[in-house]
Amino acid sequence: MVLEAILIGLLGAIGILDGRIFGQMMFERPLVMGPLVGLVLGDFTTGIIVGATLELVWMGIVGVGSATPPDVTTGGILGTAFAIMTDSGAEVALALAVPIAILAQSLGILVRTINTSFIHRADKYAEEGNTKKIVLMHWLAVGLFFLNGFVPNFLGILLGSEVVEGIVNAIPQTITEGLQVAANMFPALGFALLLQMTFTKKLSPFYFLGFGLAVFFGLDITPVAVIGAIIAVVIYQLMPTDKDKEVLL
Amino acid sequence: MEEKQINHQMDAGQDELVDKKTLRRVFWRSFHLQGSFNYERMQALGYLYAMIPILLKLYPKKSDLAAALKRHLEFFNTTPAVSSFVMGISTAMEEKNAREKGVFDSSSINAIKVALMGPLAGIGDSFFWGTFRVIAAGIGISLASQGNILGAILFLVLYNIPHFFLRYKGTFWGYNQGTTLLSSLYEKGNMEKVSYCAGILGLIVIGAMTGTLVQFTTPLEISIQGAAVNLQDTLDQIMPNILPLGLTLLLFLLLKKGIKVNYIMIGIIAVGILGKWAGIL
């Protein structure tokens, strides 16, 4: 179990560092972390499926602007891991992942607060023209983020599995079934969050167009995306033309 | 006024002090943007980290270097994927500052950074978070929910192709013609056109996902004059998936009212359990 805990801890660190020093390549998302957790714990397929479920739930949760969102990396990793370790489905994963993500969020907030001291010291080194020390300040903060990812996931696996198993077995059926209902509703929250970013009165018909294409014609996401891209390009061309338009492309 | 200065620099862009190799280092270091993220100045230290190779090259004199280092420790926050574009612009301006010492207004370097980060974050968020990621995840999830590992792989590939392309090219666009490009986009309103059309694509895809990925139904039966009527069947006749659509729009309204995401998450769990217990969900 210690080896597994270390490996899962490292996955957590990679996930958190993805948005920090790997340019946010999306390794942090449950859709990617789920299968990796499955690989470590010996149940690849469950990892993939639970990862997909949690991704859907948290689709809209992403660090936009200055806010620190719920930690979907740690929530996703531990949720998936506990679902595999207790042999239960995605609804248990969700029930555990949501509070874990909120708890881990406060850890992330703590790190971002402590990091303020590093930039103050960097100010001093900038004054001296000492780039080596500035780089060191940067890496110290990276180190904190590493711990931010490693520690909760490592401890979660090491200490949590038996506790979690006990809790899972004690949950009454109405609650697990209710959690399944909640799990099905959660993606709506994700889409509502995405709408917050893009929805305006003027653009609203396009949202209902996408909905209609899927519901009435039974189209998958890929064909809808292709149709959407064509519509977007056509509308771009129809908008008032000017000769400098090519500059962007 | 600043724009005029910069345009002039672009015209006089002979004897460049910064070579392609150093710019490529800025590209790679731009991945570090949020490595030392903090609440006071957000991505500032990461931004400086990416600029250090340039500044070391441009300012051999310690006092000049110190001034430049301090300059890039000011507040900065934007969508990480578009940051390399701003770094390219900063590079071009620092180069001009180094070449025309004393003549160039070095405070304009930060002025441009600050002016750019807001609009670029708007465009970057709607492209990368609202469009590329949503489409890639939508396709990835539909495969992965059947237990297919291709879901995760496709998600990463579909997202990262435009990500790497724009991040890499952005560095050089920013350096070579960043400010002229941006000012022409702003003047002609092309920037708004592009983000408007990205919004269209994003909304169509989000609409389709609302229709396919939210499974929200009711088992409730109402008895009318002794005959049991299944409420879900009736709703389906009005419009398929009307409940998921209604739920999404309701949550959207709650978010607009300023209710916190965490509260809504807990609320959903409570509604799910209570609804199941009462037999209406």
Q: Provide the 8-state DSSP code for B18.
A: S
Whether B279 shows a pLDDT value over 80: the answer reads yes
B203–A229 C-beta distance less than 8 A? no
Query: B5 and B104 in contact (C-beta within 8 Å)?
Result: yes
Which of the residue ranges A123-127, A160-164, B82-86 would you say has the lowest mean pLDDT? A160-164
Nearest partner of A73 among A1, A167, A145, judged by Cα: A145
Pull the structure tokens for residue A223: 């064909």
pLDDT of A164 higher than 90: no
Q: Which residue type occupies B59?
A: Y
pLDDT in tens, A32-59: 999 999 999 999 999 999 999 999 888 8
Tell me the pTM.
Answer: 0.81
- CB B55 to CB A135 under 8 A? no
Mean pLDDT of chain B, nearest integer: 86
A112 vs B223, higher pLDDT: A112
d(CA B202, CA A194): 9
ipTM tops the 0.90 cut: no
Residue-wise over B197-219: b if at least 16 C-beta within 10 A, else e? bbbbbbbbbbbbbbbbbbbbeee
Angle at A192 between CA B41 and CA B135, to 5 degrees: 85
Q: With beta carbons under 8 A apart, name residues in chain A contacting B216.
A: 184-185, 188
- Does the CB of B44 have a partner CB in chain A at under 8 Å? yes
Q: Is residue A243 over pLDDT 60?
A: no
Kindly determine whether residue A221 and residue B63, on different chains, have CB atoms separated by under 8 Å: no
Contact call for B241 and A215, based on CB within 8 A = yes
Predicted local distance difference test score (pLDDT) of residue B187? 63
Contacts of A70 (CB under 8 A, 6+ apart): A58, A61, A98, A101, A102, A104, A105, B261, B262, B265
What are the residues whose beta carbons fall under 8 Å from the beta carbon of A121, sequence distance 6 or more? A133, A137
CA distance B219 to A180: 14
The answer to whether the CB atoms of B185 and A145 lie below 8 A apart is: no
* Mutation for A interface: B38, B72, B166, most A CBs within 10 A: B38
Q: Quick check: B23 and B87 in contact, CB under 8 A?
A: no
CA of A219: how far to CAs of A55, A239, B211, B247, in Å?
21, 28, 10, 21
Q: Which residues from chain A sit within 8 angstroms of residue B276, using beta carbons?
A: 174, 177-178, 180-181
From chain A, the residues in CB contact with B136 under 8 A are 26
- The CA distance from B45 to the nearest CA of chain A, in Å, is 6
For chain A, say whether B256 makes contact (Cβ under 8 Å): yes
A124/chain B closest Cα distance in angstroms: 9
Per residue in B77-132, pLDDT (tens digit) is: 999 999 999 999 999 989 988 988 888 888 888 878 877 887 788 788 878 888 88
User: Which amino acid is it at A160?
Assistant: G
Q: Is B225 on the interface with A (CB under 8 A)?
A: no
Q: How many CB atoms lie within 10 A of CB B270?
A: 12
